[in-house]
Chains A and B, each alone.
Chain A
Amino acid sequence: MYKWMIIKALLYILLAPVIGGLMSGLDRVFSARMQGRQGPPVVQPFFDVNKLLHKQTTVVNSIQVLFVTVYLIFTIFTGALFFAGGDMLLVFFALSMSEVMLVLAAFSTNGPYSIMGAQRELLQMMCYEPMTLLVAIGFYYANGSFMVDELITKPVPAIVQIPGFFIGFVFILIIKLRKSPFDLSTSHHMHQEMVKGLTTDLSGSNLALVEIAEWYDTVLMLGIVGLFFINNNPISRLWAIIAIAVVFFLETLIDNLFPRVKYKTMLIVTWSVILVFAGTNLLILNVLK
């Protein structure tokens, strides 16, 4: 059993950056087509990261590198834990820990844009943290386990019982995938009031590490989206992939439709959405139980 877990984790570690990079490329193509542009080739993100890796790295201080490295390692660890079939709650705890490391990397630079990005990133975490924990709880309510490898063997997919949690989760994915209107801390589009926010003072291979970590993170997040649809029937995996594609497209669409909002709006809106959809869903489940 342990052997299978390790193999699954290794597969994630090897394949996730490829898939994540392609997703990121697809995202850029989608966006370009929505805006009536040709857009870059799908593999552009790989070229970018490759270039970053070969540039001379300048750092503001030496701790910065340490934090970024820990961030990458723990992001990979988190994803590997999820795809190996680990405990959902532990996955989310480890995830917020790795995010804190990225924030600390930004804090350590003492640059105004980095620190502004770091504060905003923390606020973003405060916005989505309740929902990530609730997702784990929702799966537990629906299928009676926190372990991913047990959740995928249940007869009924979780989405049937916890649609509210799904809506809430897709909503906070806007924050997680750094999409407008909630891309407060750093955006994929440069030259704005916050420069590059969180990653302003990262360069060269450090920035490449952050990019790679985000690919891993994207795959993890979309994996959770898929988990809502998977049951013991192999065909359900196809549904999961379709759902992932739809959600990913939706996120890109939202990114292109809405301008960035202020942090207060983000806090009020996300917490209300979580409370209304996931909270109500939780109450109903509790009554039915």
Chain B
Amino acid sequence: MTITYYLALSVILFALGAVGVLVRRNAIVIFMSLELMFNAANLVFVAYAAYYQLINSQLFVFFVMTVAAAEVAVGLALMVAIFRTKHSIDVDQMSALKG
């Protein structure tokens, strides 16, 4: 039993998430991709927790899940606010930061 499979899966998940964030334009999909990246990280934590028999890293998983939940809540609220003004949640439309 080796940890390599778990890590490989995690890398694949993380890469999928990152690519999703970078290429998709729909904010909801981007959020989902973000969650994918979070969970890739969670997977690494859990894998190492099992591997080293440590409780600390499992603890972090809960932290990450909590923060992710909070972040989604704030993020979705933002989405709603943006949708109200722009009638779209296409992130390419949100270019007010353009210098």
A and B interact = no
Chain B residues close to A by CB (< 8 Å)? none
